[in-house]
């Protein structure tokens, strides 16, 4: 049964591996170049304290040089969705064509059939997504050290977030396919649903998962270091005299979410 499952799944598995190789071909050389530039310009010495003018120039030069690559990498957050729906396709195709009925007449229980059909694609999806997480985390390290992990592209590509999105896309494709019994249509609808869900989570839900923290400070002392790696939801504020009397109100509040509140 495992051999049969592999035969039916091999094309999609090779596609998933090809996507990983393509990402590696983009990230590995640019990541090495970016790491060398970070070390050569001694940017680590500029972090953790108020940077000087030379440090500011070095950081701005680094960001202007590599920010376009970071913007390109943000599109790779679609990879979990692609992995999920592509690797679910063989199972959906078998449901559409009805060939599972033949398997059930060959002394194969339904539980064993489902375990073999879903276990292999799930394992491949998680392995490829895990490799993507490792490579992406290594690639973003210089940006993370300067800006933290709270921006959407970084947050969605590190830790277990990408694994969760892969499983979500896989499960969504299975649900649509079981109800519709049209493999191509189910894969398409599932991927569109994945994108819609991502947009909803990234633009609305994520900022409401925890209560944001509010921080006030004296502008003369400069911006607090806690805001360097924070996700800023809103900013503005008030200017008060020493006795607490309000002399100007900006009409907005500053509500950073600290990295500890991911």
Integer Cα distance of 69 and 53 in angstroms: 25
Q: Which range, of 56-70, 84-98, 128-142, averages the lowest pLDDT?
A: 56-70
Give the Cβ contact number of residue 241 at 10 Å. Answer: 8
* pLDDT tens readout for residues 168-206: 999 999 999 999 989 999 999 999 999 999 999 988 888
Helix (H) or strand (E) holding 249: strand 246-249
| Per-residue pLDDT, 87 | 94
High-pLDDT (> 70) share of the chain, %: 84
| Per-residue pLDDT, 257 | 45
Q: Which range, of 49-53, 222-226, 236-240, averages the lowest pLDDT?
A: 236-240
Q: Classify burial at 91, counting beta carbons within 10 Å of its beta carbon; exposed 0-12, middle 13-18, buried 19 or more.
A: buried
pTM as predicted: 0.81
Q: Under DSSP, is residue 10 helix (H, G, I), strand (E, B) or coil?
A: helix
Integer Cα distance of 69 and 30 in angstroms: 8
Integer Cα distance of 129 and 165 in angstroms: 10
Contact 12, 121 (CB under 8 A): yes
Nearest C-alpha neighbor of 46 from the set 143, 142, 146 = 146
| Per-residue pLDDT, 3 | 67
């Amino acid at each position: 049964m495992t051999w049969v499952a592999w035969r039916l799944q091999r094309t999609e598995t090779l596609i998933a591996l090809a996507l990983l190789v393509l990402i590696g071909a983009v990230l590995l050389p640019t990541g090495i170049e970016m790491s060398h530039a970070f070390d050569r310009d001694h940017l680590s010495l500029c972090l953790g304290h108020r940077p000087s003018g030379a440090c500011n120039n070095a950081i701005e030069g680094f960001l202007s040089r590599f920010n376009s690559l970071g913007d390109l990498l943000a599109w790779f957050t679609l990879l979990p969705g692609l992995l999920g729906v592509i690797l679910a396709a063989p199972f959906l195709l078998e449901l559409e064509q009805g060939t599972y009925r033949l398997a059930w007449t060959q002394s194969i229980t339904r539980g064993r059939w489902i375990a073999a059909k879903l276990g292999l694609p799930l394992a491949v999806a998680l392995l490829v997504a895990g490799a993507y997480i490792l490579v992406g985390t290594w690639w973003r390290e210089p940006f993370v050290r300067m800006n933290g992990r709270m921006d959407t592209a970084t947050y969605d590509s590190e830790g277990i977030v990408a694994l969760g999105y892969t499983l979500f896309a896989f499960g969504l494709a299975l649900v649509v396919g079981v109800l519709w019994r049209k493999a191509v249509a189910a894969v398409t609808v599932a991927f569109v649903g994945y994108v819609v869900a991502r947009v909803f989570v990234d633009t609305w839900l994520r900022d409401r998962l925890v209560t944001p923290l509010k921080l006030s400070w004296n502008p003369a002392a400069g911006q607090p270091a806690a805001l360097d790696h924070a996700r800023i939801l809103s900013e503005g504020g008030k200017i008060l005299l020493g006795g607490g009397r309000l002399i100007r109100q900006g009409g907005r509040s500053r509500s950073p979410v600290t990295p500890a509140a991911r």
